[in-house]
Structure formats: C-alpha cells, structure tokens
Structure 1
C-alpha cells in the first residue's frame, strides 16, 4: 500500500465527507456538513488555480491517496491568511499582579482576554487520518507535507504560522469550557455553536461575546482543568506540532478552550531543514528515509521514500516513488529527513 499527498478535487467529496463524519464533532475545519464541504472544496480549487503568488484568504485542501487502490484515507488543510473576511478571535491567558500594602499580600489573577492578535497569520489545520491507518506513520506524512507545500509557495504565506487544536469534550460532545464561559452568553449548546461557526463564521462572537477580560478564578474547576488542553485524540498531533517548533503562547480557543500553538514560519523544522535535490537516478533507491515533494500548486505531490545519496544535492529514488510523484530523471524535488 503506497500513499501520496495530492491536492483535493471535487471528486474527493464523498471520501472527505465520510471522514468528516468520523471526527466526532469539534472539528471546525472539517464539518460533517455537505454544503460547507462543497464550498470549501470549491474555494480550494480557486486557490490552487490562483496565478498571483501573494498571501490571501486561500484554503488549500489535500488528501492522502493510494492511487493504485483508488482509496483516500486522510486529509489536511493550509490557510494562507486568517482574519481576512472575518475577525479571528482567540482568548489570551495573561496574569494581573496586584499588591495590597494593608494586607501585606500579593495577588496574582489569571485573566482571559478576547483578542485578534493572530490575524494575518497562516494556519495549518483540518488534519484527519482514518482510524484504520493510524499505526503506520501516515499522519506524519499528512502533517509535514503542509510545510513542504508552504516552502514551495512561500510568498503565499505569512511570517507566522498557527495551529488550533480541538479542546476537551465529554462523550456526548459537550465542552466544559464552553458551558462555563461562552455558553452563558449564547442560547446554544457547544455542538450547535461549533456547527454554526463552521458554516457561518465567527461574526456572532463579535456581536454577542463580552469584550471585558474574564477572571479565571470565577470559572468552575471543570473549565479550568481543560483550558489549554487538547482533546485526547489530538495529543499526538500536538506532539508533532511541537516537534516542528510550534509552541503554546497562552492562546486558547474561544469555543472549547483548546490550545493554539504558533511559530515563525521560517523556523518550522521541516521548512528550515528541507533542501532542493535533483533526482539523477530512478531505480532501487537506498536506505535514507526521507519525505519528498515535487510539483507546484495543483501538481504538488508528497511521499515517503527510501533515498540513495549520490552526491551533493543529487539523489536516487525508486521507480514507485517517481511514479507517485509524477516525475522523471532530472526532476527537482524538495527533500527532508524523516
């Protein structure tokens, strides 16, 4: 079974929709809503066809495909710029220190402040791998292919990259953080609000959410315990993000309290360490395990490969890898160690 990453097309709708239904909710970038997914795929088509190499309100959707078997088992997304058509809201967790001379005590209070600090950043998200494929390291291919795409199209992305992770929910799909905070200002359950946000955007947050800071000490323990924590199913994704250099800078999701991690784009490990190589031999490959990416925009492909180092910036790869990438000898590829 040989998988590759390629841009999604409208023909992938059925497979992506089936995966969206498996997420269990809270996946804003991959809602199980047919109309929204059709719209997202259409927007992705426009992004891949855009001629101008400049940052914009683009959404690029990719799939993990076994072309020989004709199956799709994963998907991921990259966003050129957040906060373009609608504000991009986050809570920022800060500390207010106050001193009382009369009591002789110092009080440190944590506060959640509604911000749009991260507007203008690029975003990676929407990553989902079919449960039956989670033991083979294919999630790593999905995740890191996005950084190779960003490097290959660097002018289309900003100087800061972020990722939002789904927060903690109970078995019924309810969020303790939402119930304790935002849910008090909206006549909606968390699943209702999250679904509405996925389809309609965040303007209703601007309309109804209080703008004053929230003292964390006023929240119940159930909310404080999950604030800044990823959903259990997202812990592996958080580790992969951290390995790339993204860090939790005290920004949390306004809906479920999940962590938002950020990093300077050019400091992402895969972007920083990847190099351009020339494929000078297609045959048996070698023993060096790498990720390889080739092609621009709609022709972008990314695979795991066994590579033979031939010389400076020259490599040999297997026939299978070449076919998955759609390249011949002499092609330029982007390579990074696995």
Structure 2
C-alpha cells in the first residue's frame, strides 16, 4: 500500500479542483470553484498553524496521497464548530399527534421544522475518493482517519459530532426534495442554490425560507420519498457511520433532504478505541491489520499497516508503514484495528 493521508497544502488546489468536478453536484463541501477551494485551503492552513488546544470555529482539510507518485486521489474535511460564521440550518422530521373526541379519531402528521439544533457541533464531511481508486479500502482509510485526527486533537472538537450525507439527485442533476420544498420559494433550481450555498454560505435561507413547519403529506410523492434517504453512492458511507456509532435522529439537509447522522464524540468507535504507543520495532511481518497515524496538526499522517502491541505501551509496526509515516523507534504512533 502506497497511500497515506496528510494535511492539505496550498499546492493541492488543482488536484482538489479536478476531483470537485467529478462529484456530480450536491457536494457542498467540495465545490468545483477554485476561489472557494483556495479559501478552504487558506482556512485549513490557519487551523493547522494554530497550536492553541481549545475549541473554536476551524476547518481542517486532509488529502489522500499516493506517496510513490505524489498524486492526490482523495480528500476529507473536519469542521470543529459549525454554525458560527452563519446559521447551521437543518429540517427536523417530527410527528404531530392530534385527537378528535367527537370523531373518536387520532391523526398523526409528519412535519418538517426548520431548526438550528445542531449548531456548535463538530462535523466530518467533504469525503471524496477518486473513482479510479475505489478499491482496496481507501474509503475506509479516509473515513476512519478523520476520527483518529479527532482523538489526537480531542480538545479542538465539540462533544457532539455530525455527518451530512448527500441526498437523492435525479438524472438531470436536480433534487426532488428541493423542488418540492424550498425551490417553490426561491425561484432557483437545486444546482444554482447548491452552488450559491457552497460559495457564499446559507444566509439566504434565513432571509427567504418560510419559518413555519411543512406538513409532509402536502408534498409531492417524489419529495416525500427521498426525505432522509442517502444518495446511492452514500449508502456504504451511512453503514460506516452507523458502525462508528452515528445515528439518524430525524435531521435532514435543507437542500436535498439527505440524512444528517449524529453521535457523541466520545462514543465514536474509532475515537474511543484509538490508542497511543511508542514504537519499539519496525520489522513486523505478520501483525494485526490496523490504521496507523502520527504527527500533530500539519504534520498529521495516517496509513494502513500492521501492528503488534506489547501490552506495556509499546507498538511494533511494519517497515512499509514506518516509511509512509516517516517514524522511527521511539516515536509515538496512534492506531486502531482495521
């Protein structure tokens, strides 16, 4: 395996732009716009350079690099405290129960309410793997390395963490949910609204979106059927999130109706099971398969490898991983079972 995850740099702009053009829309955290991507990288550079071990509104960008060729083939992001620069809106799906004594009838109606309940949470997002690399578990490496980064910098993240999954996009690039709900009020199609949000933020939602609850029964069948449903390409990601301890609690994206997954940070499997040990050997031939990580902030690196824990605070790893991570005996390495 020649791939490792590392902190993004300004020089990764063109690689991120080329990947952004492959997302197919509905991917707010990775817009195909050089200016927006450059701003993300500048923000990430500031976050990596900030050595204060406190929670604030920051964004980290990581990239998956082929160490042999230097090609960047994937990316992911971590937002430490959402809803600070502009409101973090979601729809919350709830059930309203009403009873008529005269008719002796109980009616239950599902409603969507515009809320900012998740404001202040940390968020993992922006995960994208180049289509030519979707084999060998690299998506798993991207996803789980984010939680290792959280564990290694725990004070920089909130006690609640969320992940937004892209919702259903039709063959025309439109969103049945947007067209059935918000699109009726904005005079914009989904692609224009999604792009505007990615570049300028969602303050326009606060300005124009009706604040009254939306009764689901009044929506079209196309819109109703996609509420809380992930895009087909996101089903595996949803299963991975569930395996990490994330749950769908009725929050959906205001643009495409995709599910927002929620977890307590300290209950996330890869956070709680991530342990630190000192490297005692670099010649493991047959060890436990694991994800290994080292470094702090801008020097963070992670890769697949093999480990042997000695039970006394020491770890032996394979030589290939040691080269990818640039670690030697005596260095500290974090690891989780693959």
Q: TM-score range by the shorter chain?
A: over 0.9
Deviates more, 1:224-233 or 1:64-73: 64-73
Could you tell me how far apart the structure 1 residues matched to 2:33 and 2:241 are?
A: 27
Could you tell me how far apart the structure 2 residues matched to 1:157 and 1:295 are?
A: 17
3-state secondary structure, aligned to 2:158: coil
Partner of 2:221: 221
Could you tell me how far apart the structure 2 residues matched to 1:165 and 1:273 are?
A: 24
Partner of 2:271: 271
Partner of 2:315: 315
Offset of residue 308 of structure 1: 2.6
How high is the TM-score relative to the length of structure 1?
Answer: 0.98
Partner of 1:293: 293
Partner of 2:207: 207
Offset of residue 284 of structure 1: 3.5
| Structure 1 unaligned residues grouped into runs of 5+ | none
Partner of 1:158: 158
Could you tell me how far apart the structure 2 residues matched to 1:325 and 1:285 are?
A: 17
1:104-156 deviation digits (Å, cap 9, x = unpaired):
10000010000000000000000000111112100000000000001111111
RMSD: 0.9
Alignment of structure 1 residues 1-338 onto 2, 5 Å: 1-338=1-338
Could you tell me how far apart the structure 2 residues matched to 1:311 and 1:209 are?
A: 56
Offset of residue 285 of structure 1: 3.9
Could you tell me how far apart the structure 1 residues matched to 2:307 and 2:65 are?
A: 21
3-state secondary structure, aligned to 1:293: strand
3-state secondary structure, aligned to 1:195: helix
Could you tell me how far apart the structure 2 residues matched to 1:83 and 1:285 are?
A: 47
Could you tell me how far apart the structure 1 residues matched to 2:284 and 2:118 are?
A: 46
| Structure 2 unaligned residues grouped into runs of 5+ | none
How high is the TM-score relative to the length of structure 2?
Answer: 0.98
Could you tell me how far apart the structure 1 residues matched to 2:186 and 2:97 are?
A: 31
3-state secondary structure, aligned to 1:322: helix
3-state secondary structure, aligned to 2:68: coil
Deviates more, 1:299-308 or 1:191-200: 299-308
Offset of residue 310 of structure 1: 3.5
Q: Which runs of 4+ in 1 moved over 6 A?
A: none
Could you tell me how far apart the structure 1 residues matched to 2:318 and 2:305 are?
A: 8
Could you tell me how far apart the structure 1 residues matched to 2:311 and 2:112 are?
A: 54
Does structure 2 retain, via aligned residues, the 8 Å contact 1:290–1:336? Answer: yes
